[in-house]
Amino acid sequence: MSFPDPADYIDIHTHHGVLLPGRDVFSVISLMAHEEALPVPLPGIAYTTGIHPWYLSDSSYGDQIAGVAEAAAEGSVIAIGEAGFDRIKGPDPAFQRKAFEDQVRIAGEHDLPVVIHCVRAWDELLGAHKRLRPSRPWLVHGFRGNRDLAAQLLSKGMYLSFWFAFIIRPEAGKLIRSLPRERIFLETDGSGADIRDIYEKVSADLAVTVPGLKNIIYGNYMDLFAKV
Ligand SMILES: [Zn+2]
């Protein structure tokens, strides 16, 4: 298992599995079970694995969930996910719920956090959190909601990683300034955006230096993923 350095830019959620990061970028690659890619140990890279709600299918579900359980048991991933709920795309809510619960159970068995994909299903997510009482925090990726929603998720112990195209907007500065720094992450989601540019923008929003922001996010990474 590779760990970031305090001087790294940490990209907490990316799908660029083929590009090796630059020396100063640490990438958490989000493997999706349907892609059947394996978490190959490499410096500067960590992995999560899960079944994305868009790609749930009855015929392959058994194999996919077995693959997720296997990766968790091998210790080759730092979290389960992305997993969650999508009301725009994906199968019926009952199937999404079952798949999410199965993945949260696997995460619980191996004491892992879960990376969340959630589109217009926040009540469902909060209900699942209440019902399943996870042992480790959840990390909501691609967040682009308002302050009230952020506050609600944070009150459940969750971490927030912001949608790359949202966080670079001028108006996102106000939101990020209002949030506890010890619960934030940044990501490209494999968009081709440069994580360095995102750090630049957010460090200006928070009135800290880029090395200062690296330190904050490195600390958050170690709090969430380094088991003591
Ligand atoms: Zn993603």
Assigned domain for 107 exists: yes
Look at residue 37 in the predicted model and tell me its pLDDT. Answer: 85
69 pLDDT more than 80: yes
CATH code of the domain containing 68: 3.20.20.140
**Between 61-74 and 93-109, two packed helices, what is the crossing angle to 10 degrees?**
20
126-134: long-range contacts (C-beta < 8 A, 24 or more apart)? 126/152, 126/153, 126/156, 128/85, 128/97, 128/100, 128/101, 128/104, 129/156, 129/158, 132/101, 132/104, 132/105, 132/108, 134/104, 134/107, 134/108
Q: Tell me which residue of 86, 114, 90 sits closest to 102, measured CA to CA.
A: 114
User: Distance from the CA of 189 to the center of ligand 1, in angstroms?
Assistant: 5
115 pLDDT more than 70: yes
Compute CA 136 distance to the chain's CA centroid, rounded to the nearest angstrom: 13
Averaged pLDDT for residues 184-197: 94
Averaged pLDDT for residues 65-70: 96
User: Distance from the CA of 131 to the center of ligand 1, in angstroms?
Assistant: 25
User: Distance from the CA of 163 to the center of ligand 1, in angstroms?
Assistant: 10
| Mean predicted lDDT score pLDDT of the chain | 94
Q: Which pLDDT band holds residue 2 (cuts at 50, 70, 90)? A: confident
User: Distance from the CA of 216 to the center of ligand 1, in angstroms?
Assistant: 23
Look at residue 9 in the predicted model and tell me its pLDDT. Answer: 95
19 pLDDT more than 60: no
User: Distance from the CA of 179 to the center of ligand 1, in angstroms?
Assistant: 22
Q: How many helices (H) and strands (E) does the chain have?
A: 8, 8
Assigned domain for 111 exists: yes
Gyration radius of the chain over CA positions: 16
User: Distance from the CA of 93 to the center of ligand 1, in angstroms?
Assistant: 20
Look at residue 20 in the predicted model and tell me its pLDDT. Answer: 57
Q: How far is the C-alpha of 153 from the C-alpha of 175, rounded, in Å?
A: 14
User: Distance from the CA of 115 to the center of ligand 1, in angstroms?
Assistant: 9
165-170: long-range contacts (C-beta < 8 A, 24 or more apart)? 165/191, 165/193, 167/198, 167/201, 167/202, 168/193, 168/197, 168/198, 168/201
Residue numbers of the domain that contains 75: 9-187+209-225
User: Distance from the CA of 15 to the center of ligand 1, in angstroms?
Assistant: 6
Averaged pLDDT for residues 10-33: 83
Backbone angles phi, psi at 159, to 5 degrees: -105, 155
Assigned domain for 18 exists: yes
Say if CB 187 and CB 142 are below 8 A apart: yes
Assigned domain for 204 exists: no
Burial of residue 147 (CB within 10 Å: 0-12, 13-18, 19+) is: exposed
Averaged pLDDT for residues 85-113: 97
Q: How many domains does the chain have?
A: 1
Assigned domain for 162 exists: yes
Assigned domain for 28 exists: yes
The rounded percent of the chain whose pLDDT value lies above 70 is 97
Q: Which pLDDT band holds residue 218 (cuts at 50, 70, 90)? A: very high
Assigned domain for 155 exists: yes
Assigned domain for 203 exists: no
User: Distance from the CA of 28 to the center of ligand 1, in angstroms?
Assistant: 11
pTM score, whole prediction: 0.96
